Amino acid sequence: MEVNRKYFLEKNFLIYLTGKGASALISIASIPLFIRIYGAANYGSFVLIYSFFLMALSLSNGWINQAMIRFFHADENQYYFLKDLKKLTLISALIIGSILVCLLYFKYSGIITLIIIFLCFILGSIYTFKLVENQTVMQPKNVVFAEVLRLSFFLGIPYLLYYLDWGTFMYQLFFGILLGYTAAFLFLKSKEKTSFVSENRKKTSIKEIATYGIPLSIWMVFSPTTNGVDRYLIEYYLGAIALAQYSAVYDIVFKVFSQLSIPLNSIVQPLLMYAHNKKENKIFSKTIGKAALYLLIIFIVIFSLFSFFKELIIVQYLGFDDREVINQLKLVFEPLIISSFIWQIGILLQKRLEVQNKTLTMAILMLLSVSLSVLASIWLIPIYGFIASAYLMLLTSILYSSLVLFMIYRK
């Protein structure tokens, strides 16, 4: 694999960006559609359960997928390395998926829907493994096509089932997720290539994988893209409708920025790990700098657009017409946009810790930041509503990124 040729990062970034742009449009289109056909309260209930689903998914296979990116190019026999990780993925998915369904039973007792959620979890784990495998071996076209395919099912199937009046709203939404995972996995499976097999293997041990990866799973569970603790507090103190209102804006801001920055991360992370494993320190440092510059450009564009069109998004796109709610939602745009940018910078900076296998340090920093945010949320959300959650997200991103910088420069 060539990684030092001219414009390698830019070419692959554009491929990811094109696909992720399409994915972002589908994701954004789903929010007002689901609010309109299911109602704000039902959508809020789905958001809460889906948030915990994503947290559990990150806990289950995040550590395995991150270990794949970190050690794949360092392992002499990649075929057996992936084979070991596949077994771990399935075992972990069965255990965590069963626990998730048991916990959801006490909040949502629809047996058929719970079975669908469990199947979603298993297929989601298998699919994300294949997705990260393609990301690791630098196959951006496969990655972006699979994601567009998955999200197309996520948007289209619930609408079709709603039109046919088949099942409850929760069943319809998770059935769309299930078929999306299935279709995208089958596509990636059709593109599968045999990994290199060597007779003499320097094996990456399960202990090494777990030591590196499990703290990253903990980190992912509490990261802003999967963390559902603040949403639970909003629902608890303010109700499901307020949760739906806040989540609609939150998802648009984070999905737009993340969908534009994820393409960069998707190529940057494997490139950095490859450079580190091959001891190409100049490529490593240069890639960090270029990625930070591109993130800044993306942030300036997104911040300008959202600041100018935020009322149009709230009123015309999301369909909210209560003036008090509109004014409150307008106040959360800027802190959410800035925090999404700072989070991405923090994620980029922490690659210095990842290549040193300091993932436990990262998990501790994340837990510390989120714990302080939760304590502040319990105090401030009942007083200031979901506006407090947006500004606490900003403060948490600043705190976490500052702690990462401190750990890097202290060493």
Separation CA 54–CA 228 (nearest Å): 9
Name the residue with higher pLDDT: 35 or 119. 119
Calculate the dihedral angle through the C-alpha atoms of 244, 246, 247, 251, rounding to the nearest 10 degrees: 140
The pLDDT assigned to 8 comes to 60
Q: Are 68 and 130 in contact (CB under 8 A)?
A: no
Separation CA 355–CA 204 (nearest Å): 15
Name the residue with higher pLDDT: 297 or 279. 297
DSSP 166: -
| Amino acid present at 68 | M
**H helices, E strands: number in the chain:** 15, 0
Share of the chain above pLDDT 90, in %: 11
The crossing angle, in degrees rounded to 10, of helices 240-277 and 386-410 is 20
Q: What is the mean pLDDT of the chain?
A: 80
pLDDT tens-place string over residues 302-355: 888 888 888 888 888 788 888 888 888 888 888 988 988 898 888 888 888 887
How big is the chain by its Cα radius of gyration, in Å? 21
The residue assigned the tokens 């001219």 is 6
Share of the chain above pLDDT 70, in %: 84
Give me the mean pLDDT over the 390-398 stretch: 90
Give me the mean pLDDT over the 38-59 stretch: 83
The pLDDT assigned to 3 comes to 47
The pLDDT assigned to 403 comes to 92
The pLDDT assigned to 65 comes to 81
What angle (nearest 5°) sits at the alpha carbon of residue 321, between those of residues 316 and 322? Answer: 150
Break the chain into its structural domains and give their ranges. 8-410
Give me the mean pLDDT over the 243-267 stretch: 74
